[in-house]
Amino acid sequence: MLVQDPTFVEAIRGGQNAEVRIASRDVGKVIWKPVEEHNQESNVAKMDLRTGWCVENGRMVKYVKRIDLSAALNGRVWKGVIRASGHNSLDEKDRLLLVRSMPYDRVDVRRIKYWLADCKAYHGPACRPTVWNDLNLLGVRMIDVRGRYVVSAPAGCQYLALSYCWGGPTTTEHLKLTKGNYAQLHTPGELSKDNERVPSTVRDAIHLTESLGYQYLWVDALCIIQDKEADKSFQLGLMDRLYKSAIITITASAGENAWSGLPGALPRSRSSLLLSEMVDGITLVTASVGYIEAIESAAWSKRAWVLQERNLSSCLLVFTPRQVFWECNKATWSEELQSECFDPQIQVEIDDSLVRFKKPRSDLSPVQRYAFLLAQYTARELTDQNDALNAVQGLLNDFQSIFPEGFFWGLPESIFDTALLWNFGVYQQAPKPRRSMFPSWCWAGWQAAVSSSTGGPFDSGFQGQNGASNDSVGQPESTKDASMVLAEVAWFRITEAPSSWKAIRSNWINHSGSTFYAESLARWQAQNPTSALELTLRVLEQAEILASHALVFWTQVVQLDVDRDPHTKNPTAVAVRDRDGQDVGHINVTPEWRQSHQDRLSFILVARNLRWSKPLLDLMCVEWVGGIASRVQIIRNAIVTDKVWATLSPQWRLVVLA
């Protein structure tokens, strides 16, 4: 397998030795409940690549393995996979999880049609796309793959969508729909294969859509007018419906840009590395890696826009360099590995780490689901930083049924106190690079991955992206996670033209029994709202900050001593201390930022968390410029009780946070 790679052969010329490692790895297992008289006891410990059946818990079980090999030489690594072939097995259940025959230079379109038909027949509503009848009324455009041109989408049309990477500048400019070429691209034949400005990936997707028997394909670059902001804004607001209503979303995870194509969409468009060998009576073949391994390093998987595209799509057809995968809400199938099984007597269990690209589990609560997707989204790459909210707007729209009060700068208003406590990763230090087009207090305002905060937001039963969670998982969707935070502040924002105050209704956040909430609201109500608005607008205008960026509220402010040397238990943080020098938490900030600021830093009270046995206050470190505060970092592991807080001489202040 190694020597068929020319780069490996070249590397070992001259007598150098490569270090080769070979190891077996579990692919999964097949569980079968046969007729009783067919059950025979066997020893699991004696299982080998022959993958015979054994008895476990009264059922017949077949374990399937693969061989992983790697070679290292001069800092380079080559990897390969060897599997057992199932083409000699007569019984279908014996072929499960083994390699099947496939046309290696192209995808078998019949296979895709089988997947689609099986998904439709056996998976039910979970994988059924949403019917969208008013496409034409909303001005949605499609590519007519038969006529090869852009058209207004017919009402109720069935279509495929494309998820791909545009990539950076290339020799040939990527064709896009603009005001200047609008009429031209609406002319039949303009997107023919002879048009060299049509990127390879789009051209292959057009061919595939037609081969599958569908007439319409949605591609963002050619269905949204790219130099017309009104059209872009409107169409981006439809992203959730566009992907949820697609029959299949074609995903291009091979290559770095729109010219990489879809390997296997056309004959001879991908290379075959198939070798077979009979070893001790078993036919072994060189094979491809599993789903996650095939896409985890792809540019497509790292792209921020892709998260909503794959989470909203009911069925994905994922093109990788060696094979095509099918992923729907109920299954993951591949060209190479036979895993489709609809016999109620047979259960196929595949190692999740090999075949499932992470989606939030169905048993997560709304708060956990939002946190899970936010953590994944903010860790991805975004070419245009202005798109920090645009690239996730489809998911936020999809959340509208869960959080009906909507979102304010990407934070659900229903759980605003909880959402405001987002933090950078555990070991990430503030400040990160800013996106000045967004407020500092929202996660979109920073180019950084966002995670849950210890004792703060989203962490009741949620432990981040790795899927571990505590005893709240499995319970019905509820507001339990949000109730781990108690409201201590009454929040207000400024509406646009005409400007006015609007309260943020954190309906899922309780303030009954709060120590400071009532006074925060009373101080707000006691002031003259008109004069307060005029003053705030004047201050924002002088600072050249948009009024829509402002979060305005009454809260208590304190000055706390902050160490300059790293925390003894966390080298990326520094300790925050009370008047007696006692450690009341720590804050992750860069040494450069810490050294450039005074000994005492400003902190504002933003909420109270109820996760621990004692209710503790959540504090935000802020910087003041011209009377306006900006977020620096939330204190992690804060242990500030009311008793400690009272000793810090807190002062009430009307805060404009922007």
- Phi, psi torsion values for 615, nearest 5 degrees: -65, 130
The mean per-residue pLDDT over the stretch 347-371 comes to 73
Tokens of 626: 């011209």
Q: How confident is the model at residue 44 (pLDDT cuts 50, 70, 90)?
A: very low
Residue 75, burial from CB neighbour count under 10 angstroms (0-12, 13-18, 19+): exposed
| 3-state per-residue secondary structure call for 282-330 | EEEEEECCCHHHHHCCCHHHHEHHHHHHHHHCCEEEEECCCCEEEEECC
CA distance 142 to 215: 9
pLDDT of 445-455, one tens digit each? Answer: 999 998 764 33
What is the CB neighbour count within 10 angstroms for residue 404? Answer: 11
Residues in CB range of 367: below 8 A, 6 or more apart: 415, 418, 458, 460, 462, 479, 481, 482
Block residue for tokens 């030795």:
17
Tokens of 141: 């455009």
The pLDDT score that the predictor gives to residue 358 is 65
Domain regions of the chain by residue span: 6-95, 109-271+289-355, 366-657
The pLDDT score that the predictor gives to residue 460 is 37
CA distance 619 to 85: 60
CA distance 240 to 313: 9
Q: How confident is the model at residue 199 (pLDDT cuts 50, 70, 90)?
A: very high
The pLDDT score that the predictor gives to residue 268 is 87
pLDDT of 65-90, one tens digit each? Answer: 999 999 998 888 988 899 999 877 77
Q: How confident is the model at residue 49 (pLDDT cuts 50, 70, 90)?
A: very low
CA distance 215 to 213: 7
Q: How confident is the model at residue 10 (pLDDT cuts 50, 70, 90)?
A: confident
Highest mean pLDDT among 87-96, 202-211, 402-411, 579-588: 202-211
Judge whether 559 and 600 are in contact, CB under 8 Å: yes
Helix (H, G, I), strand (E, B) or coil at 407: strand
pLDDT of 100-111, one tens digit each? Answer: 888 788 999 999
Angle between helices 304-312 and 366-378 (to 10 degrees): 140
Block residue for tokens 């095509």:
324
Residues in CB range of 20: below 8 A, 6 or more apart: 2, 69, 70, 71
What's the gap between Cα 334 and its chain centre?
A: 22
Residues in CB range of 613: below 8 A, 6 or more apart: none
Going by the DSSP 8-state scheme, the letter that residue 442 receives in this structure is S
CA quadruple 484, 647, 635, 641: dihedral, nearest 10 = -20
Residues in CB range of 200: below 8 A, 6 or more apart: 258, 259, 260, 261
pLDDT of 250 higher than 90: yes
Q: What is the mean pLDDT of the chain?
A: 87
CA distance 626 to 96: 68
Tell me what percent of the residues of the chain surpass a pLDDT of 70: 91
Judge whether 31 and 60 are in contact, CB under 8 Å: yes
Residue 544, burial from CB neighbour count under 10 angstroms (0-12, 13-18, 19+): exposed
CA quadruple 216, 219, 222, 228: dihedral, nearest 10 = 120
**Nearest residue to 95 via CA among 85, 109, 106:** 85
The full DSSP string for 118-159 is HHHHHSGGGGPPPP---TTTTT-EEEETTTTEEEEPPTT--E
- Phi, psi torsion values for 10, nearest 5 degrees: -65, -35
Residues in CB range of 493: below 8 A, 6 or more apart: 408, 501, 502, 504, 548, 550, 551, 552
pLDDT of 463 higher than 70: no
Going by the DSSP 8-state scheme, the letter that residue 402 receives in this structure is T
CA distance 185 to 206: 15
Q: What is the CA radius of gyration of the chain?
A: 29
Judge whether 415 and 365 are in contact, CB under 8 Å: no
514 Rama class: left (phi>0) / alpha (psi -120 to 50) / beta: beta
Amino acid letter, residue 398 = D
- Mode of pairing for the β-strands spanning 159-163 and 216-218: parallel
What ranges in 313-410 are assigned the alpha helix state H?
352-355, 366-378, 393-398
Helix (H, G, I), strand (E, B) or coil at 109: helix
The mean per-residue pLDDT over the stretch 312-338 comes to 93
pTM assigned to the model: 0.86
The pLDDT score that the predictor gives to residue 16 is 81
Judge whether 407 and 415 are in contact, CB under 8 Å: no
Block residue for tokens 């059922």:
59
What's the gap between Cα 11 and its chain centre?
A: 38
pLDDT of 239-248, one tens digit each? Answer: 999 999 999 9
pLDDT of 588-647, one tens digit each? Answer: 999 999 999 999 999 999 999 887 778 899 999 999 999 999 999 998 778 899 999 999
Judge whether 321 and 254 are in contact, CB under 8 Å: yes
The pLDDT score that the predictor gives to residue 27 is 86
Judge whether 307 and 373 are in contact, CB under 8 Å: yes
